[in-house]
Amino acid sequence: MQILTTASQMHAYAKRVRSSGRTIGFVPTMGALHEGHATLVKAAKNRCDVVVVSVFVNPTQFNQTDDLEKYPRTFEADRSMLIDIGANAMFFPSVDEVYPKDVRTNFNMDGLDQTMEGPNRPGHFNGVVQVVMRLFDLTQPTVAFFGEKDFQQLTIIKYMTNKLGYPVSIVGCPTVRENDGLAMSSRNVRLTPNERRIAPVIYETLTSIKTQIATLGPAESRKNAINKLIDIPELKLEYLELVDPVTLETSNEDSESIQACIAVWVGDVRLIDNMRVK
């Protein structure tokens, strides 16, 4: 596996691959890789000739310095995992390589960033869009793979790619969970043993909505779920929304498809999850 650390190395590598007629499958990550990331890399391997994985903790998508500083960085483990899975290249750039100038994007997400993660993490999606545009330019992907775990992010990336006409197919991969249902996340390592024991309640909450929604409807099943969560002292619910999976608008009785999306603080770790409940 090649390790590329500069923008020009990455660009030259991608150009070489593409001009030889081969496809590139691209998996952007922030490292601290786990089985969730591994499924994206495997999906990329199945579909494309060459797989490029970026490992870059993108400062512009963090709205809290504390979260950025505490984000786990595990280069050696990431590298050996990617070698084991058979990725062809790991792009591991510095901040200066990704952002040579302090340029901000001003992409209009047409309201997709005005709900859920958006208001709770000001500037987050601008940072996500900014880094994905830059990484697409450098890695020249044929197909890019994202997790459904970050559902709103996936929706916005699909929207952006389509609106700007990037010649990249976006593939969403199902959320990979621990045995007790907790969605895998690089942030899980920061949970204390007690918080880790409690955290699967997030998944149980989503499952309970899915079970209740046919009989009780979205409003009532959402209310029941919220009532269950607010009784747990270690948790602080940030939002629990039932939305249309494409427009992210709030669902109602008549909605054909409904995605339940949740953000919860477990101690000082913020976790998100989601599930198709209808």
The site string for ligand AMP over 75-114 (x = CB under 6 A, - otherwise) reads: ----------------------------------------
Which one of 70-78, 102-110, 168-176, 244-252 is the stretch in contact with ligand AMP (CB under 6 A)? 168-176
Distances (CA, A) of 36 to 47, 164, 173, 184: 17, 28, 9, 6
The CA-based dihedral angle spanning residues 176, 182, 187, 189, taken in that order and rounded to the nearest 10 degrees: -110
Is residue 134 a contact residue for ligand AMP (CB under 6 A)? no
What is the smallest separation between the CB atom of 12 and ligand AMP, expressed in angstroms?
Answer: 25
Residues 6+ apart with CB under 8 A from 214: 278
The Cα–Cα gap between 256 and 278 comes to 7
Q: Catalytic residue positions?
A: 37
What is the smallest separation between the CB atom of 68 and ligand AMP, expressed in angstroms?
Answer: 13
Which of 183, 243, 258, 266 contacts ligand AMP by CB under 6 A? 183
Number of CB atoms found within 10 A of residue 208's CB: 17
Residue with Cβ nearer ligand AMP (62 or 222): 62
Is residue 188 a contact residue for ligand AMP (CB under 6 A)? no
3-class state of residue 33 by DSSP? coil
Is residue 147 a contact residue for ligand AMP (CB under 6 A)? yes
3-class state of residue 242 by DSSP? strand
DSSP state of 223: H
The Cα–Cα gap between 89 and 256 comes to 41
Contact yes or no for 125/117 (Cβ under 8 A): yes
The site string for ligand AMP over 31-70 (x = CB under 6 A, - otherwise) reads: -----xx-xx------------------------------
β-strand partners of 28: 54
Structure tokens at 221: 């099943």
Which one of 17-25, 131-139, 171-179, 234-242 is the stretch in contact with ligand AMP (CB under 6 A)? 171-179
The residues of the shown chain that bind ligand AMP, judged by CB under 6 A, are 29-30, 36-37, 39-40, 146-147, 149-150, 173, 175-176, 183-186
